[in-house]
Chain A
Amino acid sequence: MSLMSRSHWTLTALVLAILVSMPLLLPDFWLSGILGRSLIYGIVALSITFLASYGGFISLAQTMLAGIAGYTVAILAPTAIPASQSAVSYWLAMPLAVLAATLAGAVVGLIAIRTRDIYLLMITLALAVGFSLFAQSNIDWFNGYEGIRNVVGPELFGQPFRAHTVFYYVSLTLAALLYLMVLYVVRTPFGLVLQGIRDNPRRVAALGFDVAVHRIAAFAMAGFIAGCGGVLITFYNIGITPGSIGMTATVNVLVMSVIGGLGHPVGAFIGAVIFTLIDTFAATIYDRDRFNTLIGLVFLGIVVASPDGVLGLGKRLAGRGKRKDAGDGGTPH
C-alpha cells in the first residue's frame, strides 16, 4: 500500500515546490512572520491532529509538550539569559529537548491511559494548565514569570538560525518530514492497530494487541512531533515564558487543528495558516485589541457550522461540485 494516491503525491509535490520557491517571491515579513510561523505552530497542531485523526484522542497537552521541549532547550542553551549552569551546545540541547518531549508524551499517555473522549480532554487540559502554572511559580529551573530569554538557536551554514531564509527552510523541511512521517506511520502495522483502537478498543484487545502500549507509543510519537515544533517555536520567539505555553496558547493550537479539520494531518497546517493570517491582520479586519473575540467567533463559527473544519467544508463543497459536473473527475481529497 502506498503512502498516498498518485494525484495526492502530485498535489503534495506541487504545494511543496511552491513553498520551496517562496523565498524568491515573498518579502521577509511574509516568509517568517506568516509562513514560517504557520509551519512551526502547524507542527504542534499536527501532533493534535495525528492523535485525533488516527487514535481518536483529543489531547490538549500538546502545547505543554512543545513547552517542555522549549524549556529543555532554553535551560541547556549556551546563549540563554539568565545564564544556565548546565549549558551545552545547541546540537546536543535540541535532540535532548525532543527526547524530553517524547518521554513526557509517553508519561501523558500513561496518566491518561484509562480515560477516553471527554475525560481525556479534561485531564490533558488540567495537565497543560498545571504545567504552565508550575513553570510560572518555579524560579530555580524556569525563572518564573520572566521565563528564559535569548535562546537564538545554533548557526547554520555560517548564518544565524533566525535568518529569515534559514529559519524558513528548516521549518519547511521539518514540517514536511514530520507530515510524511505521520502519513507513513499510519500505514504501518502500528498505525493500523492505532486506528483499530480508535474504532473499537475492545475488539483490538481481543485480537491480542496490547492497547495500552499502543496508546502510550502514539502519545510518545505525538510528543516527538510537538517537541520538534516546540524547539523551533522557542527559537522563533527568542526564548520561552510560562504565558507562551498557558491556556491561551493551548487553546490557540487547538483552534488551528479544529479550524483546519481533524480528519487529515494536512488540516493542521491549513488551520495554522488561517489562524496566523487572522492573528496578523485582525487589526485591519476588526479592532486590534479585540483579536481574541474575532478568533473566538471564527472558532465558534467553524465548530457550529462544520465540526470537521475547513477540510470537511471543502470536501463537501467539492462533493457537491462533482455531482454537478457529472463525474468530471474533480480535485482529489
Chain B
Amino acid sequence: MSLQFMITVTLNGLTLAALYFIVASGFSLIFGLMRTVNMAHGSLYMIGAYVGFAVFDSLYASNATAGYAWYAGLLAGVAAAAVAGVVMQVVFLGWMQGQELRQALVTIGLSIIIADQLLAHFGGNPFQFFAPDALFGPTPVPVIGRYSTFRLFQIGLALAVGVGLWLLLNKTRLGIMVRAGVDDRQMLAACGVNVPLIAVATFALGAGLAGLGGVIGATAQPVALGVDVKFLLTSLVVVIVGGMGSIGGTAIGAILIGVAEQWGQALFPTYSVILTFAIMVAVLAVRPQGLLGRTGR
C-alpha cells in the first residue's frame, strides 16, 4: 500500500466527512434545542438537491446566466429546504412540542410524502450539478499530485459551517437564547423570550443546512432516489456516535464515519457498512450518550 493511496483514501474520507458534517450538524442543531428527531432530515436534503437543480438547470441552459447558475441553485436549494423546515415546524411539530415519539412519527409520515411528491414532480432520473468554473477541475496537492478542487472546497465549507455555528451559538444573542433553551425551555420562556420563534429559526437553520448539503452532495456525486434514506441514516449514526446536540461531537462523529466508510470501501468493499456499525455499537457500549454528548439532561 503506497503512501499516495493512503493519503487519497483519507482525503476522500475527509471530504465525505465534510458533507456528512454539514448535513448532520443541522440534524443535531434541531435535536439539541427541540428534542425533535427529524426523520425527514434526509427529505430536506433531497428538497435542497432537487429544487436547487431545477433552478440550476434552467439557468445553465443559457450562456448569459450559466456563470452564476450554480450559486443561484445553491441559494434556491438552501432556501427551499429552510422554507420546508419552517412549514414542518409551524404546521405540525410546534404544537406537539415535548411529544418526541409523536414528532418522530409525524416526520416519518412527512418523509414518505415528500419523497413520493419529489418523484412525481421531478422524475426518478439521476442528476448532477456542474461545479462553477472557480471550483471545477483538479488542484495540485503535494505527494498525491492533484485532487478534485470541489472536494477540497467541501472541506473548507464544512469548516466554515462549523466555525459559523460555533460563533452563532457562542457569540450572538440568538445563540445564547438557543443554548439557554437547550438547558431549560420553560425558564427561557419565563424570561420573556419567544421560544416558539427561536424554535422556528433553529428549524430553518437546521433545514437550510440539510439543503446546503443537498446541493453540495449533488455536485460531488449524482443524486438518485434513495439518498434521503442514506443521509437520514448517516445523520443518525453521526449524531449517535458524536453525541446529540453537540457541534463538536457531530464533527468528530462525521470524521470517524466518513473516514471509516472510505477506508472500509477501499479495503473490504462488501463489508464496509459493518465497520460503520461496529463503530456505532462500540460507542454505544462505552458511552451511550455519544462521544461528546452530555449526561443527565
| Contact in complex: B116, A296 (CB < 8 Å) | yes
Q: In this assembly, does B110 line the interface, its C-beta being within 8 Å of a C-beta of chain A?
A: yes
Across the interface, do B229 and A247 meet the contact criterion of CB distance under 8 Å? yes
Which A residues from 278 to 318 make CB contacts under 8 A with B? 289-293, 295-297, 299-300, 303-304, 307
A320 at the interface (CB under 8 A from B): no
Q: How far is the CA of A247 from the CA of B234 in the complex (A)?
A: 13
Spell out B's residues near A (CB within 8 Å).
35, 37, 39, 92, 99-102, 104-106, 108-110, 112-113, 115-117, 120, 229, 232-233, 236-237, 240, 244, 269-274, 276-277, 280-281, 284-285, 288
- Is the CB–CB distance between B110 and A296 below 8 Å? yes
CA distance A118 to B32 in the complex (A): 13
- 5 shortest interchain CB distances as A-B pairs: A296-B112, A300-B109, A296-B113, A292-B116, A114-B288
For A254, the chain B residues whose CB sits under 8 A away are: 105, 108
B280–A297 CB distance below 8 A: no
| Alpha-carbon separation in the docked complex, A139 to B35 (Å) | 39
B240 and A297 form a contact (CB under 8 A): no
- Residue in contact with A118 in the complex, picked from B37, B109, B232, B280, CB distance below 8 Å: B37
Residue from A129, A290, A304 in contact with B229 in the complex, judged by beta carbons closer than 8 Å = A129
A126 in contact with B102 (CB, 8 Å): no
Across the interface, which residues of A come within 8 angstroms of B108, CB to CB?
251, 254, 299
Contacts of A137 in B (CB 8 A): 269-270, 272-273
Give CA–CA (A119, B92) in the complex, Å: 21
- Does A111 reach chain B (CB closer than 8 Å)? yes
Contact B104 A118 (CB under 8 A): yes
A-chain residues with CB within 8 Å of residue B106 when the two chains form the complex: 300, 303-304
Q: When the two chains form their complex, are residues B37 and A111 in contact, meaning their CB atoms are under 8 A apart?
A: no
Q: Is the CB of A290 within 8 A of B284?
A: no
Partner of B37, one of A122, A129, A291: A122
* Cα distance, A140 to B270, chains bound together (Å): 9
A246-B229, A247-B229 known; A115+B284 contact, CB < 8 A? yes
- Which one of B240, B270, B271 contacts A123 once the chains associate, using CB atoms below 8 Å? B240
Cβ contact within 8 Å between B281 and A121: no
Question: In the assembled complex, how far is the CB of residue B245 from the closest CB belonging to chain A, in whole angstroms?
Answer: 12
- Which residue of chain B has the shortest Cβ distance to A111 in the bound complex? B281
Bound CA span A290–B121, Å: 11
Q: List 18 A-B contacts (CB under 8 A).
A: A114-B284, A115-B288, A118-B35, A118-B104, A119-B244, A119-B288, A121-B37, A123-B236, A126-B233, A127-B277, A129-B233, A137-B269, A137-B270, A139-B270, A247-B229, A296-B112, A299-B112, A300-B110
Assuming the A-B contacts A125-B236, A130-B277, are A299 and B109 also in contact, with contact meaning beta carbons closer than 8 angstroms in the complex? yes
Q: Which residue of A lies closest to B239 (CB)?
A: A122
Q: Which residue of B lies closest to A137 (CB)?
A: B270
**B112, A122: Cβ atoms under 8 Å?**
no
CA distance A138 to B274 in the complex (A): 11
Cα distance, A291 to B236, chains bound together (Å): 27
* CB neighbours of A209 from chain B (8 A): none
- Within 8 Å by CB of B116, from A118, A138, A293, lies A293
| Chain B residues near A146 (CB-CB < 8 A) | none
The interface residues of chain A lying within 8 Å CB-to-CB of B288 are 114-115, 119
A71 to chain B, nearest CB (A): 15
B222 CB to nearest A CB, Å: 18
> How near does chain A come to B76, taking the closest CB pair, in angstroms?
24
Tell yes or no: A133 within 8 A of B by CB.
yes
B284 / chain A contacts, CB cutoff of 8 Å? 111-112, 114-115, 123
